[in-house]
A = this chain, B = another copy of it.
Amino acid sequence: MFKKILIANRGEIAVRVIRACREMSIASVAVYSDVDRTALHVRKADEAYAIGPAAARESYLHIERIMDVARRSGADAIHPGYGFLSENAAFAQACEAARIKFIGPTAAAMNIMGSKTSARRAMEAAGVPFVPGSSRGLTLDEAQKVADEVGYPVMLKAAAGGGGKGMRLVHHPRDLASAYEGASSEAARAFSSDEVYIEKYIAQPRHIEVQVFGDEHGNVVYLGERECSVQRRHQKVIEEAPSPIVDPAMRLRMGETAVRVAKAAGYTNAGTVEFLVDAQKNFYFLEMNTRLQVEHPVTELVTGLDLVHLQLRVAAGEKLPFAQADVQLRGHAIECRIYAEDPDNNFFPSPGKIAQLVTPSGPGIREDSGVFEGWTVPLDYDPMLSKLIAYAPTREQAIARMLRALDEYFVGGIKTNVELFRRILHDEDFAAGRMDTGLLDRMLAKKMSNSDLRDSAKIAAVAAAIFALSSAAKSSDSMCDGPSPDETKSANGNGAASGWKRTARREALR
């Protein structure tokens, strides 16, 4: 097993991997940009080294600086997390060259999957089902031809893309040119490649993905599916396992297809095969993510496995410790991605200082967090604060449990999407498992019922007055010394907390 692992990432996933290292008695090395000096991953790691300014390309995307830290610290492996360099084949090659194990697939497998067009060629050879469209990057003219062939609506996609960036849906030929321009420029910014291609647009599809895992001895297994249809702008918002519509027969078909995909690419370690599923439950290969997914915890909870422990063991050359037949799903898990963003204001990111933080806990609740009270969320990176995951014997109970946990969750000082999740989890269609990737947009288009939001306004008003009174109190208290009679008479320390009372009393005595 490895002696020391460098985590080339930040935020909750860096903390997640550091925890796994600690649990396996492996030393962990964090890297950090200037704005992350006091970040959680720096504080939890055994070692930490600065790698440059806030801008990602100067720090978390800077291969040379990270490799330099790896050498200096004597790390014998690197875990890339997700995002940043996790799917960067050049980085994987740099690790190979430095004889430092990259915890993930080989650069070769990444290259196949890294470009959607090359992935498509390989997968078509392996007989994997595809959505009709082009299998390579297109010029605008070509794009127009292919769009006419497969028929509108069509989807423009960045060949080097992922996570929804550089994607555009086009309903009418007249919109194609502007969408093409937008997609390729966004792609250029995001992936420094403006290659875009076209696919037939499947109306109201589900997004269902299969977790696969391969060791370096030719064994590949699938660990069930994840339903990720609740999306906004092609970004996942809620994920769950298992999918409400996948039965054992469909799970077997999807799973075996996913394994075929992985084997066709000579894939090792953790990977995810994403499928579009239409209303008739036909599934089409979408892409393969050659990394650990944000949403891996829901799979961990229903399988009872720890995927990061597994990643490390497989990367160290161990065989998978179980066979396909040993993988059993139990119960239901749901994940909410808690973001620093403002759902009431077009989901703008809301960086800033976390003035208060109360996190849920108790039965069936897991929180993978990258933040703490007092932390100032930098505006330089993805605004995800933490992942809240609920597990229960049934989907219905898991939803109820997540709602309970959301009620316990409080982030003060910055805006978050916590209230959005309450709304989604209360939605009839979601509760019934009637989901497609358009569900959330339709929901957001609806107006919220006032009754739902206003019935405790009176309480809020009274509380606001009490707070006002107690702050007025503090200022006056600070001038007079000695505790007020109430403080001394209070039954225990907790009683004394009720500061506003004695002030109000003072008020009344005036």
Contact = CB atoms under 8 A, between A and B. Distances in A.
B353 A361 contact: no
Interface stretch (A261-269, A301-309, A468-476, A477-485): A301-309
Contact of A361 (B24, B304, B368, B408): B368
Interface string A174-206: 000000000000000000000000000000000
A497 B38 contact: yes
A404 B22 contact: yes
Contacts of A361: 359, 361, 366-369
Given A362-B366, A363-B306, A407 B22 contact: yes
A442 B328 CA distance: 41
B366 A363 contact: yes
Contact of A362 (B367, B375, B407): B367
Contacts of A124: none
Interface string A26-59: 0000000011111100001000000000100000
A38 to B, nearest CB: 5
B368 A366 contact: no
Interface stretch (A227-235, A275-283, A287-295, A487-495): A487-495
Interface string A386-409: 000000110001001101100110
Contact of A304 (B331, B492, B493, B494): B331
A364 interface: yes
A378 interface: yes
A94 interface: no
A491 B297 contact: no
A36, A403, A404 — most chain B CB neighbours (10 Å): A404
A366 B37 CA distance: 29
Given A300-B363, A363-B19, A400-B23, A306 B392 contact: yes
A363 B366 CA distance: 7
Interface in A339-395: 352-353, 359, 361-369, 374-376, 378, 392-393
A422 interface: no
A15 interface: yes
A493 B23 contact: no
Contacts of A366: 361-366
A24 B400 contact: yes
Interface residues of A, number: 58
A320 to B, nearest CB: 13
Nearest to A12: B362
B19 A404 contact: yes
A382 to B, nearest CB: 16
Contacts of A304: 330-331, 393
A363 B305 contact: no
A65 interface: no
A319 interface: no
B331 A378 contact: no
B16 A362 contact: yes
Q: Which has the most chain B C-beta neighbours within 10 Å: A297, A368, A376, A494?
A: A494
A492 B53 CA distance: 12
Among the interface residues A20, A330, A375, A491, which one has the most CB atoms of the partner chain B within 10 A?
A491
A334 to B, nearest CB: 13
A25 interface: yes
A86 to B, nearest CB: 19
Given A359-B361, A404-B23, A407-B22, A397 B309 contact: yes
Contact of A23 (B19, B20, B367, B401): B401
A450 B301 CA distance: 40
Contacts of A404: 19, 22-23
A362 B392 contact: no
Given A300-B363, A363-B16, A366-B362, A35 B491 contact: yes
B364 A306 contact: yes
A305 B24 contact: no
A492 B39 CA distance: 12
Given A23-B392, A38-B495, 6 more contacts: A16-B362, A37-B494, A300-B363, A306-B363, A363-B368, A374-B497
14 contacts: A20-B363, A23-B404, A35-B494, A36-B494, A38-B497, A297-B363, A300-B363, A306-B363, A359-B361, A362-B366, A363-B366, A364-B366, A366-B366, A376-B494
Interface of A: 15-16, 19-20, 22-25, 34-39, 44, 54, 297, 300, 304-306, 308-309, 328, 330-331, 352-353, 359, 361-369, 374-376, 378, 392-393, 397, 400-401, 403-404, 407-408, 491-495, 497-498
